[in-house]
């Protein structure tokens, strides 16, 4: 069931329909409003269209930076897992060698 959300931002009003619940939609709207306010504060731009475009660009930039951080973190975890696996295999090999040397009791 689609929920409707009335948007009134940057001098423009309209309604959207989405399959998300109203609380989620309100949260997203609040985040966007804050992003718009931040864009206006850092850029000094007041034209609504320019603010909306720059806000969209900055949000895409932030998403891509977060994706890159997640990918880097994933690689780091894989590297750590690989190192742990190497150490575990090394310990197993050492134990096997000790068992061969001292007998399997």
CA–CA dist 68, 70 (Å, integer): 5
CA–CA dist 38, 44 (Å, integer): 10
| Residues of the domain holding 70 | 3-102
Q: What percent of the chain has pLDDT over 70?
A: 94
Over residues 70-86, the pLDDT tens digits come to 888 888 877 777 777 77
Domain total for the chain? 1
**What's the pLDDT score for residue 103?**
64
Can you give the length of the chain in residues?
A: 105
> How much is the pTM?
0.66
Q: Would you say 16 and 5 are in contact if contact means Cβ atoms under 8 Å apart?
A: yes
Count of C-beta atoms within a 10 Å radius of residue 25: 19
Helix ranges (DSSP H) in the chain: 22-43, 48-102
Over residues 24-72, the pLDDT tens digits come to 999 999 999 999 999 999 999 999 999 999 999 999 999 999 999 988 8
């Amino acid at each position: 069931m689609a929920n409707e959300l009335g948007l009134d931002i940057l001098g423009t009003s309209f309604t959207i329909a989405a399959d998300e619940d109203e609380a989620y939609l309100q949260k997203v709207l609040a985040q966007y409003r804050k992003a718009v306010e931040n864009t206006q504060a850092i850029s000094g731009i007041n034209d609504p269209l320019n603010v909306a475009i720059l806000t969209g660009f900055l949000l895409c930039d932030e998403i891509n930076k977060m994706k890159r951080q997640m990918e880097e973190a994933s690689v780091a975890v894989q590297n750590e897992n690989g190192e742990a696996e190497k150490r575990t295999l090394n310990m197993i090999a050492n134990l096997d060698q000790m068992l061969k040397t001292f007998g399997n009791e």
